[in-house]
């Protein structure tokens, strides 16, 4: 089975990259949505806050979570098919992907809190947290392409 899948390795890799792009696009935009949502909550603009919440939910359900799921499935398949488990770069990459998945979960949780009117972070903090996915994806791409160890 693994040998048969090996013939499709490049197709699996292409699909993995496409879903990484989808996931990262959503991971870049959701924190911006959270900033606008939070500002609406703080200002007491309940209709606008509800609209931001609806946008966040659609983004999560239509793009973000399905893309993350496919990234994990395809990534693990590539690791098995390519027999990369003993390579240090993959271990480091997995740590970063787990961290991005945790960030994904945090962002979903914070969106739900905002939906209940709970504001826990400053706008500045949210703006700074917005940069974490970019840093993570830069490091992941370097590990996957350069394979430094």
Binding site membership: which residues? 16, 93
| Closest alpha carbon to 101 in 74, 68, 63, 76 | 68
* Residue positions forming the annotated binding site for heme: 16, 93
DSSP state of 83: T
Kindly state the tokens that stand for 45: 């603009």
Listed in sequence order, the DSSP H helices in the chain are: 2-6, 9-43, 46-59, 65-81, 88-115, 123-129, 132-146
């Amino acid at each position: 089975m693994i040998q048969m899948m090996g013939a499709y390795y490049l197709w699996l890799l292409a699909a993995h990259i496409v879903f990484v792009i989808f996931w990262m696009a959503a991971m870049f935009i959701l924190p911006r949505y959270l900033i606008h949502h939070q500002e609406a909550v703080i200002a007491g603009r309940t209709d606008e806050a509800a609209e931001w919440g609806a946008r966040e939910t659609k983004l999560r359900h239509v793009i973000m979570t399905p893309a993350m799921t496919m990234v994990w499935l395809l990534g693990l398949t590539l690791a098995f098919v390519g027999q990369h488990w003993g390579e240090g770069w993959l271990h480091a990459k997995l740590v970063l992907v787990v961290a991005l998945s945790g960030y994904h979960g945090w962002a979903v949780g914070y969106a739900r809190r905002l939906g209940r009117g709970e504001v826990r972070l400053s706008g500045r903090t949210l703006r700074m947290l917005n940069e974490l996915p970019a840093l993570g994806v830069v490091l992941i791409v370097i590990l996957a392409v350069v394979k430094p160890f």
